[in-house]
């Protein structure tokens, strides 16, 4: 398969957390690449370091975290070596991230429309409300006008997640990172969000990194899956390879522990 120049290249990323007086390795020597229009899922249990990778890419690591080694190359530029202002230019515009629990991640005291406005203006783009409305409609948000005039706490979980996704997509980024996009939601809404993400992928042809502990979610949407355990990358492959022919013992256990196989696997198989 001919691979074009990768969009994102992570090389030997090593991140350490300072807890009290000890240091704990969150991510150990992780390397992978991501091409254009490719969806990557990083799967692992809590504490495996998967979220840390996502946070490192957008520079949102907590204060006690230190990147001790590695490079994150986005379109050839090492993100870790950029100045904060340069990073800010990229965040939101070229690389976006959506987090778990959408309502908690939206400023409760700021109207949705104004949050969009901030996003546009701070990136030097004129505020185009039509584009926002169109995007919301595309994301199946009923009555987008009213949603724009609401405060985040007035929205339901699924609605807030769509708003969040809209915020992430409105400036046409090349890469969308979703950190546990389904974890805080009800089961039925989870399925909706997974479907939504798939549609986003189809419509916008953007690259995505989905961080999740749910293998079912990963297999239903990703082209490739990375499995993390204790900060190390233990497996890499297509959904079929990971599910049916796992190379590592950990992955095998992980797959076996998953009691229910989601619609994703079924839809892939059939």
Interface residues with another protein (CB under 8 A) are: 58, 60, 63, 87-93, 96-97, 99, 101, 104-110, 114, 118-119, 121-123, 151-153, 164, 167
CB-wise, 74 or 99, nearer to another protein? 99
Which C-beta is closer to another protein: that of 141 or that of 176?
176
Minimal distance in Å, beta carbon 61 to another protein? 10
In angstroms, give the least distance from the CB of 181 to another protein: 13
CB of 66 to another protein, least distance (A): 14
Compute the least distance from the CB of residue 187 to another protein, in Å. 22
Nearer to another protein, 53 or 233 (CB): 53
CB 211 within 8 A of CB 177: yes
| CB-nearer residue toward another protein: 71 or 117 | 117
- Min dist CB 193 to another protein, Å, is 17
Contact partners, residue 6, CB within 8 Å, separation at least 6: 33, 34, 35, 73
Question: Helices 112-122 and 129-138: crossing angle, nearest 10°?
Answer: 120
Could you please report the per-residue DSSP string of 169-220? HTT--SEEEEESTTTTS-HHHHHHHHHHHHHHHHHH--EEEEEES-HHHHHH
Contact 100, 80 (CB under 8 A): no
End-to-end CA gap in the chain: 24
When the beta carbons of 125 and 129 are compared against another protein, the nearer one is 125
């Amino acid at each position: 398969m001919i691979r074009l120049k990768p969009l994102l290249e992570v090389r030997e990323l090593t991140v350490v957390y300072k807890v009290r007086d000890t240091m704990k390795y969150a991510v150990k020597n992780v390397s992978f690449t991501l091409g254009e229009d490719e969806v990557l899922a990083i799967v692992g249990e809590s504490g495996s370091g998967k979220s840390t990778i996502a946070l490192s890419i957008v520079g949102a690591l907590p204060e006690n975290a230190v990147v001790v080694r590695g490079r994150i190359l986005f379109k050839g530029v090492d993100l870790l070596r950029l100045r904060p202002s340069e990073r800010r230019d990229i965040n939101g515009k070229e690389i976006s991230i959506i987090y778990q629990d959408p309502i908690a991640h939206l400023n409760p005291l700021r109207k949705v429309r104004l949050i969009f406005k901030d996003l546009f203006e701070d990136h030097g783009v004129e505020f185009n409300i039509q584009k926002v409305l169109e995007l919301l409609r595309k994301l199946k948000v009923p009555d987008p006008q009213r949603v724009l005039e609401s405060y985040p706490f007035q929205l339901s979980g699924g609605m807030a997640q769509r708003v969040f996704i809209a915020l992430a997509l409105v400036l046409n980024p090349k890469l969308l990172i979703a950190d546990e996009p389904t974890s805080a939601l009800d089961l039925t809404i989870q399925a909706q969000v997974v479907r939504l993400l798939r549609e986003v992928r189809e419509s916008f042809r953007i690259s995505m990194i989905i961080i999740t502990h749910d293998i079912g979610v990963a297999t239903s949407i990703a082209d490739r899956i990375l499995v993390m355990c204790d900060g190390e990358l233990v497996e890499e492959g297509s959904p079929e390879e990971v599910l049916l022919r796992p190379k590592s013992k950990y992955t095998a256990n992980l797959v076996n522990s998953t009691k229910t196989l989601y619609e994703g696997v079924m839809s892939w198989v059939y």
